[in-house]
Structure 1
């Protein structure tokens, strides 16, 4: 934010020589978008070549086949989907998407720092002068990223035809949800704009992020425990594929790319509605109905089909408890003594977290193969209803409980002055 308040140079402080020219915002945004997309694409191309060599020591095909596979993986991480022998596969490997999202965030932060000196300063913005620095940087960032996506899609096309429209949609989603806030934060504009918002709204967003992050961690822990319990089944699946060392490594990488999807499936299970692994299947605390499954080791974490133990119904208590604890932890850092503000922070933040988790859960599903495997993923609307309810109630209770504790342990002003 201090970069928005440059001191005017005087005769004593002005450096000798001509003033360095700053690059236009459009150029900086375009370069940042190209770098964000190109860096992750190059990594995927390299992994594709390594995977091609590990699969059969380079006996069949050529290195360009591995590069094409890496490009298709990069496109799949952006929701392109594939059509293999007339069968659509649009399940997004969110592990690759998470890596791309992290690169988008970091490059956008640096872009914000680079454009921080452009446009009006903090005083002129406070006086009402319009500032188009962040919108211009974000729009050109999207353009640079989209150029790489379109060119890659056109070059990687063939028998396995990726779709360009979903890639542009995911690019826009990454730009709006990650790049735009990062540019605003890096340039200092976010601090200025946030000062005009009510405190309850700012702390409500902090609460939502805390609830969502804590619940995702708990869901990942539950997934890890379930996988370790059935580790023998996973090893049995891998052995039945008769893979060598190189192919086993590739299989592990593919399974790792779908761990975030499985984490969101685990969270949907904890919320109650559960998810499906194929048509006419159900995995929930109340019932588990499964059919024939592919030999994919990550599926070993699924519970056994048939009657479920009575205690599994108690897992629906976990989401509101997590929301209450996360809300209390956030409010401990940013205390309040007002009952209404504590309630609004907790309940509002929980509701926002519920919508955010439902969006992620909806993005985690899709078609994973032909036939009954065309339906894999959480039940979107049911997850939304349960997430908003559980997180909202848990956040409300956590906010009220921490408000009571802070009011009870606060020191009166007269005593503090004495």
Structure 2
């Protein structure tokens, strides 16, 4: 990273990094707030709210801004004026698709700040931006809390820093080119001082983590395809729910935007369904490839695409994580970093044993990493929708981790075993095509 003096004050002096970070974060906060407020304004313009007072809409926009950052909202029907069976609950179901808005804005800001900083000065820009963004969240929580929607001020100040800070760090790393350069460490010099076994272990663990990430992303990609197919097959039921709501064109558009915001959540739900771990759609409702027992659901169009009834071949969906693990095992073989197998072969001169042991260890490691990553996604995608039965939505992180780890591990063993044969087949095809290309 290099210091560039293009960010200057009135006298041509370089702008202090903490001030530049503060301006970048303020810009990101305002833009994300405007994006969230736009659909609310559209619904208000079409008389979609019973109470269209300006302060009410402004508080609703602020509460929505906090929600997309993961800040839980405390709901109380007593404050809403409910006359029967007052209840309270927590709205913590975060639309991860809308969380990408502040994340991407922070990613852009992180790149700009890294471009304007030396490595040992980047902390100044990150500190200034974090303080301003936390202040924006604190002010939003203080202004937008009401009798029926409570907001914890500490949560409003600190939780928005998680997606914003992640975006800043990823953007700065993108500009720096590596994590070591981002924190000012010469990775080459540090590695040269370590032993050969340490370098082997580091390369092996790093490749295993990457393989686990490959398995998770492949599983999610295939689950997204299955989700799209399910929506296409049940499109008539989805349209029927839209028609029954009679929300009008602008209300329907706002509802569609809200559902698109939860699209990443639905992808994680599809992963849980496919793995057999299942996904909760309210207290007492569980849907999964190994069994489905779902109670009454709210009139949300996307819920109409949920597979229902007797599903004779639903268990076949369990093959999706296995296929993803097979791809990860093949990828690890092509990466060429199976140093544990090399070390074990040096210690034990029995290839049948070392090959079997190293493959099983690799499957266990990659499966565990994919399971841990899946558990993190399940924790992010799930939550509570407020009050009533819908206080438990999403997959259980521990259950998903176990199911996903086992299935991916099986796939990794298959991919590692079939990898050499696949490589030989690819080499033969390339050798057959080589004379024709000449």
TM-score (structure 2 length as normaliser) = 0.76
- Report SS of the residue matched to 1:288: strand
Pair 1:340 & 2:338 matched: no
The worse-fitting range, judged by mean Cα deviation, of 278-287 and 176-185 is 176-185
The worse-fitting range, judged by mean Cα deviation, of 268-277 and 314-323 is 314-323
Retained in 2: the 8 A contact 1:205–1:349? Answer: yes
Pair 1:48 & 2:22 matched: no
Which residue in 2 is equivalent to 1:264?
268
Which residue in 2 is equivalent to 1:138?
126
Retained in 1: the 8 A contact 2:211–2:332? Answer: yes
Which residue in 1 is equivalent to 2:225?
221
Compared with structure 1, are the counterparts of its residues 298 and 327 closer, same or farther at alpha carbon in structure 2 (3 Å cutoff)?
same
Which residue in 2 is equivalent to 1:114?
116
Retained in 1: the 8 A contact 2:204–2:340? Answer: no
**Cα offset for 1:252?**
1.2
Which residue in 2 is equivalent to 1:92?
94
What is the aligned counterpart of 2:288 among 280, 284, 289?
Answer: 284
- Report SS of the residue matched to 1:73: helix
Which residue in 2 is equivalent to 1:25?
17
Retained in 2: the 8 A contact 1:324–1:396? Answer: yes
Q: Deviations over 1:192-244 (max 9, x none)?
A: 45545633344344333333322222221111211222222212212221221
Q: Deviations over 1:111-154 (max 9, x none)?
A: 22221xx25xxxxxxxxxxx4x3444434332222122111122
- Report SS of the residue matched to 1:92: coil
Pair 1:251 & 2:240 matched: no
**Cα offset for 1:38?**
2.5
Which residue in 2 is equivalent to 1:103?
105
Which residue in 2 is equivalent to 1:183?
172
Pair 1:394 & 2:382 matched: no
Aligned mates of 1:326, 1:257 — CA distance in 2? 29
Q: Deviations over 1:34-59 (max 9, x none)?
A: 23322211221233222321344x89
Which residue in 2 is equivalent to 1:151?
139
Which residues of structure 1 form unaligned runs of 5+?
Answer: 7-18, 120-130, 412-418
Compared with structure 1, are the counterparts of its residues 34 and 348 closer, same or farther at alpha carbon in structure 2 (3 Å cutoff)?
farther
Compared with structure 1, are the counterparts of its residues 330 and 300 closer, same or farther at alpha carbon in structure 2 (3 Å cutoff)?
farther
Compared with structure 1, are the counterparts of its residues 151 and 256 closer, same or farther at alpha carbon in structure 2 (3 Å cutoff)?
same
**Cα offset for 1:385?**
1.4
TM-score (structure 1 length as normaliser) = 0.79
Pair 1:80 & 2:84 matched: no
Q: Deviations over 1:300-345 (max 9, x none)?
A: 121214x431x2112112102113214534764x445867379687
After superposition, residues 241-390 of structure 1 pair within 5 angstroms as 241-305=245-309, 307-309=310-312, 311-329=313-331, 332=334, 334-335=335-336, 340=341, 348-390=365-407
**Cα offset for 1:400?**
5.3
Which residue in 2 is equivalent to 1:39?
31
Compared with structure 1, are the counterparts of its residues 339 and 381 closer, same or farther at alpha carbon in structure 2 (3 Å cutoff)?
closer
Compared with structure 1, are the counterparts of its residues 407 and 181 closer, same or farther at alpha carbon in structure 2 (3 Å cutoff)?
farther
**Cα offset for 1:63?**
4.5
Aligned mates of 1:330, 1:168 — CA distance in 2? 42
Aligned mates of 1:232, 1:93 — CA distance in 2? 25
Q: Deviations over 1:253-312 (max 9, x none)?
A: 12222121111111011111111111111111121111111100011121214x431x21
- Report SS of the residue matched to 1:391: helix
Retained in 1: the 8 A contact 2:70–2:92? Answer: yes
What is the aligned counterpart of 2:58 among 54, 67, 81?
Answer: 67
RMSD: 3.3
Compared with structure 1, are the counterparts of its residues 108 and 401 closer, same or farther at alpha carbon in structure 2 (3 Å cutoff)?
farther
Aligned mates of 1:76, 1:257 — CA distance in 2? 12
Aligned mates of 1:407, 1:104 — CA distance in 2? 45
Which residues of structure 2 form unaligned runs of 5+?
Answer: 5-10, 78-87, 192-201, 343-357, 429-438
**Cα offset for 1:68?**
3.0
Retained in 1: the 8 A contact 2:70–2:160? Answer: no
Retained in 2: the 8 A contact 1:49–1:63? Answer: no
